[in-house]
Amino acid sequence: MDSLASAKNARRKGKAIGAIIKAQKIELRGLVQAVGFRPYIYKLAHQWGLRGWVNNHTEGVTIVVEGSEEAIKHFLEVLPQDKPPLSRIDSIVLTEQPLRGYQDFIIRESQEGQRLLTSVPPDVALCPDCRSDLHERKSRYYQYPFTNCTNCGPRFTIVQSLPYDRASTSMASFELCPTCHSEYKDPWNRRFHAQPIACPTCGPEVWLSDHQGKPIEGDWRQKFQEKMRAGQIVAVKSLGGFHLVCHGRHTKALEKLRQRKRRPHKPLALMARDKAVIEEICLVSLAEEKMLTGPQAPIVILEQRPSAVTKLATLPLLTGVMKTIGFMMPYTPLHELLFADDLDLLVMTSGNQAGFPLARTNEEALTQLASIVDAFLFHNRPILSRADDSVLRYIDGTWHFYRRSRGFVPDSIALPIAVQKDNRGHPVSTASQANSRTILAVGGEMKNTFALLGGDSAVLSQHIGGVHTLEGQENFLESLQHLQKLLDLEPELIVCDRHPTYHTAQLARRWSKPLLEVQHHHAHFIATLADHSVTEKSMGVILDGTGYGDDGTIWGLEIITGDYRSFQRHYTLRPLPLPGGDNAVKKPYLTAAVFLGEAFGEQGWEEAKRFFPEDAKAITRAKQMVEQKINSPLSSSAGRFFDAVSALLGICKESTYDGQAAIELGEEVTLRLGLAGREVKRAEIEEALSLGHYPFSIRKKLPRTIQKTSQDSLTKAEQNKENCSLLRYLDYTEILAGLLADIENCTDKGIIALRFHNSLALFINEAVKELAIREKLSTAALGGGVFQNPYLFTMVRHLLQAQGLRVLWPQRIPANDGGLAFGQGAIAKWQGEEGSIISKGRC
């Protein structure tokens, strides 16, 4: 018997009994606001003949029902089964209530109250019903760019405070017309209590302006499409900020966009009119299709078809050397209306200048983007929170966040609460017991997000990006203040990175709050463990571009053991000096020169000049900086190793965007394994390994190279003999020797890149195997931005799993610094009242 038939039967029985025999109060926590939950409860209660009420409040949703015991029983059974698709119930608390004799079931006005860290709803992509209304000529929502319902539309980007009601959103100033008001009040209408409901009569409006902000007469949609066909660039006010938009098939438009935005190489994301357009250019698995068309509608990085360039001649301008492309679907009605029969692909890149956050207001866009665009597409619905597009990739059967933002934020993430044990196996604490204080974790310097923690959950912010500029810091503070207000949460403890010059750390140190500083790679390690609710001592494999080490050098290839309270380094890369410090990241050819010089001495430096003859003077200056110890901090970064190899192979000599050299190197091997949209088989791993690797050495002591400066610098890094006695080093000399021999023999650079990746994966496998036996551990957590390299991730995962190890990787958060704050906050939860990390990692 279906639920409706059961409901009718129960109502008949209830009426036959002739009396209300029970009252029940139901408290719901989770994602239960702004997802059509109250209308759902209203309908469900009426179906079962129940009376009472439902309302939103700052802790979730409360329901009180009166009716027959059987009807209430069935109501409670059906409630979690048929709930709205966008909702999530974390807990249900039932309490017996005295009978009040309610005469009907109603939706009560929302209430204020003590606020918990409940889930604030993310923005939701256009649903099929609203898309149908948009194109139906008889609908009053025909071609209206702000149509929405309880199943879709803006949430986080327009909400000012909780509870989630219209008066608490940026729609408060748009008074409902009688027809919208009627739909809003109709329990059987899908726009029942849809807070952003609007129509052409009473809702926001769109208009087109020239690059100076002067309105352009005529139909905005027609004029916009004319500009696309003419190769112009338009700044479009979207859901969480502005996009820079141009025709994806127009060569001159793409050249102009790259020149004006000073973005010569970084791939550009595309929005397609429909799924068929994407499938013509890219391979799309069922999982990828579901993500593209789902309620989050993020950018999904897809593998290009071999014939892609014949279908899209501008592909080299869009993606450069990359064989993947980031696609998304129209996720708002406004986006849907931008397309036409002859306009099926639009570039959608972030509407900002370098170093600036996404333009949010019309005024910001005019100030920041006028020199880039030919026109503006404005509207008058205020955006209260910036939200960049989320970016995901499907690798070896699992989803990986490259950026977690629109569509996912600010959904909360549960923290582990299992009991942790000390070295003697005695229970120490749980996360909830160890530290009940509310916590702010400020994250890192690049790809920044922050996290607010309360109770047993964390809310990770939207993508903030770089905070190294004044504008980036203002965006960080503005976003923090807004989310604090939204959650009504005042941090009692601040957590930051130990880097002395990170601007987030400097901000944290200025606030008059207790402060906990957390080592960068420890935070990455714990972010992965906490993502999987693992609390026992484990192994960590953390590979990234940079992170301040406890010895004052730059770390970045760290194989460690530990838990939430402490960690120990066991393996790392043989360190080398980086002339120019962080600036070396932009010049991989200089990094390559230093690797060669450190590995082979004077001969290596000369070899570098042979590889890069036009940069011989710069290489000589770098050599002098290293020898004179001028601004040449030591680094054991995996990211810089990738940069060096990328430069030596002629893939990327100078980087114009973050991670370019390593990303393009990874691209040389990723598609050889066919990672798009499916799981990789063991036989394919064996086949990839059969193509070879370079020999490598693991050393117990740092070798004394002929470079005296290295000897002196490395002595400083070895001062703590006791803690460093177990530290082992991957020596890159043999890997580079093999790589240079392959280059000399004119081996295909794709094969060389693959062998380099295999060498690193096999080193990790050997090191973790030894460590697992020695430390009697069976769980390995992967983290750090280098593990966004699909080939390396897949290879390491399969090799470690073949040992019988449990392998974890970030799944609800990014592996890069976008997940750092989550790890910082989780560590703080486990620190209790100690106030500092017990770190054995000072090597």
789 has catalytic annotation: no
Per the CB < 8 A criterion, the answer to whether 539 and 779 are in contact is yes
Task: List the one residue out of 145, 151, 89 whose CA is nearest residue 124.
Answer: 151
Q: Tell me which long-range contacts 127-135 makes (C-beta under 8 A, separation of at least 24).
A: 127/151, 127/152, 127/295, 129/190, 130/333, 131/333, 131/336, 134/333, 134/336, 134/337
Among 11, 29, 51, 56, the active-site one is: 56
What phi and psi, each to the nearest 5 degrees, are found at residue 561?
A: -125, 155
Query: How far apart (Å, rounded) are the C-alpha atoms in residues 573 and 178?
Result: 69
**Rounded to the nearest 10 degrees, what angle do helices 749-775 and 682-690 cross at?**
120
Query: How far apart (Å, rounded) are the C-alpha atoms in residues 597 and 578?
Result: 12
Task: List the one residue out of 52, 55, 128 whose CA is nearest residue 85.
Answer: 128
Task: List the one residue out of 528, 534, 608 whose CA is nearest residue 820.
Answer: 528
Query: How far apart (Å, rounded) are the C-alpha atoms in residues 689 and 757?
Result: 10
| Alpha helix ranges (H) inside 612-732 | 616-627, 638-648, 660-670, 682-690, 708-716, 721-724
CB atoms near residue 500 (< 10 Å): 11
Q: How far is CA 219 from the centre of its chain?
A: 37
**Rounded to the nearest 10 degrees, what angle do helices 708-716 and 616-627 cross at?**
50
Q: What is the DSSP string of 502-564?
A: -HHHHHHHHSSS-EEEE-HHHHHHHHHHHHTT--S-EEEEEE-S--B-TTSSEEEEEEEEE-S
Task: List the one residue out of 428, 460, 434 whose CA is nearest residue 447.
Answer: 460
Q: Tell me which long-range contacts 624-628 makes (C-beta under 8 A, separation of at least 24).
A: 625/577, 625/579, 625/580, 626/577, 626/579, 626/594, 626/597, 626/707, 626/709, 626/710, 627/707, 627/708, 627/709, 628/709
Among 11, 38, 191, 569, the active-site one is: 38
Query: How far apart (Å, rounded) are the C-alpha atoms in residues 66 and 21?
Result: 8
The three-state secondary structure class of 94 is strand
Query: How far apart (Å, rounded) are the C-alpha atoms in residues 231 and 441?
Result: 44
9 has catalytic annotation: no
- Token readout for 659 is 């991670």
Q: Tell me which long-range contacts 379-382 makes (C-beta under 8 A, separation of at least 24).
A: 379/145, 379/146, 379/204, 379/205, 379/206, 379/207, 379/237, 379/334, 380/204, 380/205, 381/146, 381/154, 381/158, 381/170, 381/171, 381/174, 381/203, 381/204, 382/158, 382/170
Residue type for 645, please? Answer: V
CB atoms near residue 282 (< 10 Å): 24
Query: How far apart (Å, rounded) are the C-alpha atoms in residues 656 and 645?
Result: 17
Query: For residue 356, what is the DSSP state?
Result: S
Q: Tell me which long-range contacts 534-537 makes (C-beta under 8 A, separation of at least 24).
A: 534/416, 534/779, 534/781, 534/808, 535/416, 535/418, 535/419, 535/420, 535/431, 535/563, 535/564, 536/420, 536/421, 536/563, 536/779, 537/561, 537/562, 537/563, 537/775, 537/777
Query: How far apart (Å, rounded) are the C-alpha atoms in residues 234 and 824?
Result: 40
60: β partners: 57
Cα of first residue to Cα of last residue in the chain, in angstroms, is: 67
The residues that are catalytic are: 38, 56
